């Protein structure tokens, strides 16, 4: 029995190592041409972005990262929508933490696209003074790489700065799908995270779901109701694969759940 368990553990760790050695890190061409930003560590921490460096705070996102990569690899997927039933559950916080956590795997290329076009917030969380307008240029029918930023060598951010009018119309337009395809073809990321709008207050996210492979639903503990999670899950499942629900804003955790790998 012990031998079987140790063999299983060995196989699991070999698989984990394999997950971390996919494509080589981005070090040339289109990635090098992206304008680099260096977000302030203190501001990130104030805004609950805790995954730039490994450690106890990053551990739960690192677990999520590993599970996500495994699901993507098993299905040959790259595109992940991050959404929620209602506003304010922590989608943008989770998406950014997941992006930084993934980007610590230096052999992975990660792209985060901000598509919550009613309430874009990522530039604020990152403290960018020169706010990019990726979505505005989409509306103009242009893929404008000057609006894409880079953190380090393998994380690209297509941020939207100010919102646009009629987001659902833009998000469902065939030219938007074409431009996202073109962005993917240019940067060839291993993972693309889309920070979306909440599902139950508008059809914005729904309008884009045909373009993603799968979705993560972020629910806020003590805020999001079971009925909201069920309705959102059903709506998501009609358009894409639901990877799971991330329970955010938990005030209480069992010792077992809160114990970090790094401890
Ligand atoms: N785990 C957490 N614990 C406490 N506060 C959190 C947590 N995650 C996010 N927040 C806070 O909740 C607020 C909303 O977070 P965030 O902007 O990420 O949510 P959102 O779902 O993207 O919102 P919106 O629907 O407006 O886009 C922010 O002030 C954020 O700092
Ligand atoms: Mg948000």
Each residue of 69-89: pLDDT tens digit?
Answer: 999 999 999 999 999 999 999
Residue 115 has pLDDT above 70, yes or no: yes
Match 């242009």 to its residue by tokens: 142
User: What is the distance in A from the centroid of ligand 2 to the CA of 263?
Assistant: 31
Give the closest residue to 88 by CA, choosing from 211, 224, 188. 224
Domain count, the chain: 1
pLDDT-based confidence at 111, cuts 50/70/90?
very high
Tokens of 260: 């970090």
Nearest residue (CA) to ligand 1, atom 1: 249
Q: Is the CB of 120 under 6 A from ligand 1?
A: no
Burial letters for 93-105: b for 16+ Cβ neighbours within 10 Å, e otherwise?
bbbbbbbbbbbbb
Residue 24 has pLDDT above 50, yes or no: no
Residue 250 has pLDDT above 60, yes or no: yes
Measure the CA–CA gap between 49 and 95, rounded to whole angstroms: 10
pLDDT-based confidence at 28, cuts 50/70/90?
low
User: What is the distance in A from the centroid of ligand 2 to the CA of 157?
Assistant: 14
Q: What pLDDT is attached to residue 254?
A: 56
Helices marked H in 159-201: 167-172, 174-187
Q: Is the CB of 85 under 6 A from ligand 1?
A: no
Q: Which residues pair with 247 in a beta bridge?
A: 219
Q: Is the CB of 248 under 6 A from ligand 1?
A: yes
Q: In this structure, is residue 18 part of a structural domain?
A: no
Half-sphere exposure of 203 (CA within 13 A, CB side): 8
Q: In this structure, is residue 228 part of a structural domain?
A: yes
Residues 6+ apart with CB under 8 A from 87: 119, 198, 201
Atom of ligand 1 nearest to the CA of 93: 18
Q: What pLDDT is attached to residue 36?
A: 96
Q: What pLDDT is attached to residue 22?
A: 45
User: What is the distance in A from the centroid of ligand 1 to the CA of 114?
Assistant: 15
Q: In this structure, is residue 86 part of a structural domain?
A: yes
> 230 near 217, Cβ under 8 Å?
no
Q: Is the CB of 136 under 6 A from ligand 1?
A: no
Q: What is the number of the ligand closest to the CA of 93?
A: 1
Q: In this structure, is residue 9 part of a structural domain?
A: no
Q: What is the number of the ligand closest to the CA of 114?
A: 2
User: What is the distance in A from the centroid of ligand 2 to the CA of 206?
Assistant: 15
Q: In this structure, is residue 80 part of a structural domain?
A: yes
Tokens of 152: 């380090």
User: What is the distance in A from the centroid of ligand 1 to the CA of 48?
Assistant: 9
- Three-point CA angle 52, 55, 57, nearest 5°: 80
192 vs 86, 130, 148, 185, CA distance in Å?
A: 22, 23, 13, 12
Mean pLDDT to the nearest integer, 181-201: 97
Q: In this structure, is residue 232 part of a structural domain?
A: yes
The domain of 61 spans 28-258
Q: In this structure, is residue 251 part of a structural domain?
A: yes
Per the prediction, the chain carries an average pLDDT of 88
Nearest residue (CA) to ligand 1, atom 5: 249
CATH code where residue 65 lies: 3.40.50.300
Q: Is the CB of 29 under 6 A from ligand 1?
A: no
Mean pLDDT to the nearest integer, 181-203: 97
Q: What pLDDT is attached to residue 161?
A: 86
Q: What pLDDT is attached to residue 164?
A: 87
User: What is the distance in A from the centroid of ligand 1 to the CA of 87?
Assistant: 9
Mean pLDDT to the nearest integer, 167-193: 96
pLDDT-based confidence at 162, cuts 50/70/90?
confident
Helix (H) or strand (E) holding 129: none
Mean pLDDT to the nearest integer, 220-248: 97
Report which of residues 27 and 87 the model is more confident about. 87
Neighbours of 176 (CB within 10 A): 20
pLDDT-based confidence at 93, cuts 50/70/90?
very high
Q: Is the dihedral of CA 228, 230, 231, 235 positive or negative?
A: positive
Pocket probe mutation, ligand 1, options 45, 48, 228, max atoms within 8 Å of Cβ: 48
Q: In this structure, is residue 11 part of a structural domain?
A: no
Q: What pLDDT is attached to residue 163?
A: 84
């Amino acid at each position: 029995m012990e031998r079987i368990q140790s063999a299983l553990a060995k196989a699991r760790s070999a698989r984990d190592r394999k997950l971390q050695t996919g494509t080589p890190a981005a070090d040339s061409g289109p990635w090098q041409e992206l304008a680099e930003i260096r977000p302030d560590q203190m501001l990130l921490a104030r805004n609950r972005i805790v995954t730039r460096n490994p450690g106890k705070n990053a551990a739960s996102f690192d677990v999520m990262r590993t599970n996500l990569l495994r699901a993507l690899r098993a299905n040959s997927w790259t595109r992940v929508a991050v959404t929620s039933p209602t506003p304010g559950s922590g989608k943008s916080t989770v998406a950014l933490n997941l992006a930084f956590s993934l980007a610590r795997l230096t052999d992975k290329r990660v792209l985060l696209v901000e598509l919550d076009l009613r309430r874009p917030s990522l530039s604020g969380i990152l403290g960018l003074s020169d706010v990019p307008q990726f979505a505005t240029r989409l509306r103009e029918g242009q893929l404008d790489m000057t609006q894409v930023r880079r953190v380090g060598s393998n994380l690209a951010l297509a941020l939207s700065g100010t919102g646009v009018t009629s987001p659902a119309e833009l998000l469902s337009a065939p030219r938007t799908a074409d431009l996202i395809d073109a962005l993917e073809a240019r940067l060839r990321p291993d993972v693309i995270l889309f920070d979306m709008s909440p599902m139950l207050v508008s059809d914005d996210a729904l309008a884009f779901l045909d373009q993603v492979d799968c979705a993560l639903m972020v629910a806020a503990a003590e805020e999001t109701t079971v009925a909201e999670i069920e309705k959102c899950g059903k709506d998501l499942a009609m358009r894409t694969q639901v990877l799971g629900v991330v329970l955010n804003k938990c005030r209480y955790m069992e010792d077992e759940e809160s114990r970090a790998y790094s401890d």
